[in-house]
Amino acid sequence: MTKTDSQSDITPEGLMLPVPGVDYGPLEGLLGYALRRAQNALYLDFYRATAEWDVSPQRFAALVLIARNPGLRQGLLGQAMGLHRSGALRLTDWLTAQGWAERRDAPDDARAWGLYLTPAGKRRLVKLEAAVAGHDRALVAALGDAGIALKAGLERLAWVATAQTTDPDNKPRRLKP
């Protein structure tokens, strides 16, 4: 199989394990840097679990959101995933090109359309959900009791960081020390 543009967009770059002899300075003590290293490792593991289908975590999340929210508008999909409009458009274009999702006119607005999974997309999602669930169970099991606590802590971190970085009008601001 040749590497397509879509594959190069999702193929993980590699592990970010500490390299012996490299001075990381303050990076070693930063929570964000540790999260980035862990995220990269998780991405690689996810990619191995789903490589057969050329699906990244982002593509999987989009399939799940569309399946659970038939008629979801592209802008709302982007918002739910933290994507800019152009990213949501590229993602939607990729899903429709695979034949896994389709755009349909919105019944209540002739200028808009919603996203729906196709029968092929529904079949693919069943397989992906099983693979991803197995991947996630293995990770949580490897961490034991700390796995459940880690997930809860990361969810809290996301809320805390978001609350500290946006004002009531959702405009960015600096974190408070």
State both tokens at 172: 């960015």
CATH of domain 5-150: 1.10.10.10
Q: How far is CA 38 from CA 45, 65, 104, 137, 154, in A?
A: 11, 24, 38, 16, 12
- pLDDT for the residue numbered 65: 98
Query: For residue 114, what are the β-bridge partners?
Result: 104
**What are the start-end ranges of the E strands in 7-126?**
101-106, 109-117
Kindly give the interhelix angle for 119-143 and 145-165, rounded to the nearest 10 degrees.
110
Residue 2: predicted pLDDT = 36
**Which residue in 78, 70, 71 sits closest to 106, CA to CA?**
71
- Ordered by start, the domain boundaries in the chain are 5-150
Give the pLDDT of the chain (177 residues) as one tens digit per residue.
Answer: 333 444 445 555 666 778 899 999 999 899 989 898 888 888 888 988 998 898 999 999 999 999 999 999 999 999 999 999 999 999 999 999 999 999 998 887 778 899 999 999 999 999 999 999 999 999 989 998 898 889 889 999 988 888 766 566 656 555 555
Q: Which amino acid is at 157?
A: L
Q: Residue 1: its pLDDT value, please?
A: 35
pLDDT of residue 46: 92
Q: What is the pTM of this model?
A: 0.79
